[in-house]
Structure 1
Amino acid sequence: MILWFTVIQLAVAVAAGLLCVILGLAGKRPNDWAVGSLALIEVLLIVQVVMAIVSPFSGNPAQGDPLEYGVYLVSAVLLPIGGVIWALLERSRWSTVIMGAVALSLAVMIWRMQVIWTTPVGS
């Protein structure tokens, strides 16, 4: 993974998470801002998938366990989709809070993927 891209992903995920939690606690139902913030995270994760495929061929192979990294990446790509589906099926303030929890969870997962990518196996 590329550190600057990880930082961008983290900033977007934390901002989206805080936005959704604040909107939800303020009583707002899922709206374009909340769903759009998770959509932006999803786009960045799809770019991360492409980068994870291309990076080893350009001299930036994963130092950690590639299977663990792959499971994190696939799970991270599916999580925003599930969160948005849930929010659109149950249109309440709490589904907006759940979308915030999804975004904050993705921030943790993105950082963990960075650690897996850069830390050699056995360290």
Structure 2
Amino acid sequence: MTPDPFFFVGAAICALSLVVCVVAAATKTYPGDAAIVSVAAVELFLVAYGIGAAIRQAGGEALRGEPWEFWGYLATALILPVVAFWWAVLDKTRWSNAVLAAVPLTIFVMLFRMEQIWDGAPLS
């Protein structure tokens, strides 16, 4: 499996967001703008990733795995940051930052799996 640039960019955005959210959880009692914006950056990346994947697939590049599984992962990944955002807005506690921190970590794992599905790599 040779990861494409989308995977590396996504991994970097998720790592940066995770650091911001963990620091926010360790230092604040409520979700700050930096943590919320970092999760919004993850969501923005996912939108761009989805558009890029649709263009690649429409251009003839076939998924080597099951298309329904890839698009299911992407749809689920798009929902997670939105749910975490609303959680952070409605619950002004330190736990909101922990929920925000769980999003980039979860999205990274989902990106890894989507990359496996795209390239047809077996589960390890």
TM over 0.5: yes
Give structure 1 stretches of 5+ with no counterpart. none
Secondary structure of the residue aligned to 2:71 is helix
What letter matches 2:26 in structure 1? L
| Aligned-pair CA distance for 1:86 | 0.3
For residue 20 of structure 1, what is the aligned residue in structure 2?
A: 21
Deviations 1:52-84 (A, max 9, x none): 211123232211110110110000001000001
Give structure 2 stretches of 5+ with no counterpart. none
| Aligned-pair CA distance for 1:27 | 2.8
Note if contact 2:17-2:38 (Cα within 8 Å) is conserved in structure 1. yes
Q: What's the TM-score, normalizing by structure 2?
A: 0.89
Output the CA distance in 2 between the equivalents of 1:48 and 1:76: 11
Residue identity over aligned pairs, in percent, reads 30
Q: Which runs of 4+ in 1 moved over 6 A?
A: none
Note if contact 1:24-1:96 (Cα within 8 Å) is conserved in structure 2. yes
For residue 87 of structure 1, what is the aligned residue in structure 2?
A: 88
Secondary structure of the residue aligned to 1:30 is coil
The RMSD of aligned alpha carbons is 1.5
| Aligned-pair CA distance for 1:28 | 4.1
Secondary structure of the residue aligned to 1:107 is helix
Note if contact 1:20-1:97 (Cα within 8 Å) is conserved in structure 2. yes
Deviations 1:93-118 (A, max 9, x none): 11011100111111111111111111
For residue 31 of structure 2, what is the aligned residue in structure 1?
A: 30
For residue 114 of structure 1, what is the aligned residue in structure 2?
A: 115
